[in-house]
Structure 1
Amino acid sequence: MADIPNFISTLEIAQKKEKFTPEVQEAAAGIDVETLKAAVAAALAAGETDEISDPAQAAALKAGFEFAVKACPRPFEKKDLYVYFKVARGEVVEKPGMFDMVKKQLFGEWEKVKHFSKPKAEALYIQFVDTYIGKYGTRDE
């Protein structure tokens, strides 16, 4: 199973509607925690381009990713989240101009992972969100 305790704790609190905005609570609704843990573990253990064959796990991972997007704190380490977010959403990062150093760095990082499968990117995004929740808390704290 995936070791994402901060993320799972945040998800369970949002599901109980004890905290968070209605938008975050709604994103948490209906996510089966055990299926999500299994999906994250499977995606992290899989190769970079492997898909998840179990439809329930794939759906749980997608829902977990969408929850992570809504609940994630605004960390300083945006680069890690940015590249996995783009891959998970199937978005292409445009090549920046020669003098835009920040975007050039982001583009370079995205190029390293653009071949990852959506499930792999979703699981890695969730894993980073778990770390950030441990460091910074959540948006609603």
Structure 2
Amino acid sequence: MSDISGFITVLEAAQAKAKFTPEVQEAAQGIDIEALKAGFAAAIAMGETDNISDEAQSAALKAGFEFAVKAVLMLKTAPGPFEMLDLYANFKVARGETVEKPGMFDMKKKSMFNAWEKIKHISTPKAQAQYIKHVNEYIGKYDTRDE
């Protein structure tokens, strides 16, 4: 199982309203941390197209993903361009969104499309877990700011 202790620490601080903006604190409220850990572990361990059968774990993973979307904005330094591609692709898949194929000369959108296309086949829970995993890595790498 991947260790997401940095992410959990940030979640706990937001739940305690000890740090971060009210929007981030609100996103943290009501997340069952134990169910999130179990859902995350299940999603990381499962196949690319499998789903989580436990409803509490699935709901906690979705809530954890939504919190991660807010928490990534609290990093002291923005992730680099390749890191942003990982976040972008997993975000789009986790939300069930598709990406239009860009024109031949739009290199930025082309790289975004290619990142999404590589993982578009994975399940929503898998993408949510991968997004959380990336945010956890970036928390360790860049740390978070208080507000």
Q: TM-score, normalised by structure 1?
A: 0.96
Tell me, which stretches of 5 or more residues in structure 2 are unaligned? none
Matches for 1:1-141 after TM superposition, within 5 Å: 2-72=2-72, 73=75, 74-76=78-80, 77-138=83-144, 140=146
Deviation at 1:2, TM superposition (A): 4.1
User: Once the two structures are aligned, what percentage of the paired residues are identical?
Assistant: 70
d(CA) in 2 for partners of 1:44, 1:86: 18
SS at match of 2:48: coil
Deviation at 1:140, TM superposition (A): 3.6
Q: 1:26 to 1:132 in 2, by over 3 A?
A: same
Partner AA of 1:49 in structure 2 = T
Q: Which runs of 4+ in 1 moved over 3 A?
A: none
d(CA) in 2 for partners of 1:140, 1:49: 37
